[in-house]
Amino acid sequence: METTNEPVCCPKFDPIPWENMNFEWNEKIFVKSSVFCLFYLPMNFGFKMKKLDKIISRAGADWSEGICLSDQTSKWNMDLFISVDKPVRALENVIFRGKFFSKVYEGAFRDVGKWMVDFKLVLAEKDFGSSKIYTWYTTCPKCAKKYGKNYVVMIAKVE
């Protein structure tokens, strides 16, 4: 992937803390929203993120941690879970609790389907069974091009 001199909007992602990692979230606050998809392709993602940024900022909450989990519920919808430091009254708040496992992948967005198959095999090898899986697209396409890397993290709730 070639890099560019374009400005960035996404923080640079460090994959090391998320690679093959078991971790626990206790009372981890997320706000929930959704994005319209057309055959699994998000259509209004950038617009939705700008709108959510305004709502979160107006509420005095911080989402600089940058965790935005995606749950593809159908070929027409993707639920988003954005990590915040405090509840946001204007949005649906969801608390994540439990044990999780993450694995980092790098490459083109079109490979997410292959990565999902691999991640399910890894979960089976670790005897995690059928787990709820979230996808974290750590950068937008422009920032991925800027950084020269496109990291995607698969996160599964394993307990």
Residue 81 resides in a domain:
yes
Instruction: Report which of 159, 114, 111, 109 is spatially closest to residue 132, judged by C-alpha positions.
Output: 159
In a domain, 11, yes or no: no
Host domain of residue 39: 18-157
- Select from 117, 125, 122, 128 the least CA-distant residue to 103: 122
Residue 8 lies in a domain: no
Which of residues 140 and 4 earns the better pLDDT score? 140
Domain assignment of residue 5, yes or no: no
Residue partners of 132: CB distance under 8 A and separation at least 6: 71, 156, 157
Any domain includes 7: no
Q: ∠114-119-124 over CA atoms, to 5°?
A: 130
How far is it, in rounded angstroms, from Cα 159 to Cα 117? 20
**Rounded Cα–Cα distance for residues 98 and 27 (Å):** 9
User: Does residue 59 lie in a domain region?
Assistant: yes
How far is residue 147's CA from residue 1's CA, in Å, rounded to a whole number?
A: 9
Average pLDDT, the chain: 92
Mean pLDDT lowest for which of 68-72, 79-83, 103-107, 141-145? Answer: 141-145
How many domains are there within the chain? 1
Decide if pLDDT at 133 tops 90: yes
- pLDDT band (50, 70, 90) for residue 1: very low
Burial profile 114-143: b = 16 or more Cβ within 10 angstroms, e = fewer: ebbeebbeebeeeebeebebbbbbbbbeeb
Q: Which pLDDT tens digit goes with each residue over 4-55?
A: 555 567 889 999 999 999 999 999 999 999 999 998 888 988 899 999 999 9
Beta strands in the chain (DSSP E): 21-38, 41-42, 68-74, 77-83, 92-106, 132-137, 151-157
Q: Are 32 and 91 in contact, with CB atoms under 8 Å apart? A: yes
* pLDDT recorded at residue 17: 97
Comparison of pLDDT for 12 and 94, the residue scoring more: 94
| Averaged pLDDT for residues 80-109 | 97
3, part of any domain:
no
Nearest Cα to 56, choosing from 24, 26, 99, 87? 87
Residue 143 inside a domain? The answer is yes
| CATH number of the domain that residue 127 is part of | 3.20.80.10
- Asked whether residue 149 carries a pLDDT value surpassing 50, the answer given is yes
The pLDDT of residue 8 is 60
Q: Which pLDDT value is given to residue 129? A: 78
pTM (predicted TM-score): 0.91
Q: How far apart are the C-alpha atoms of 30 and 102, rounded to whole Å? A: 17
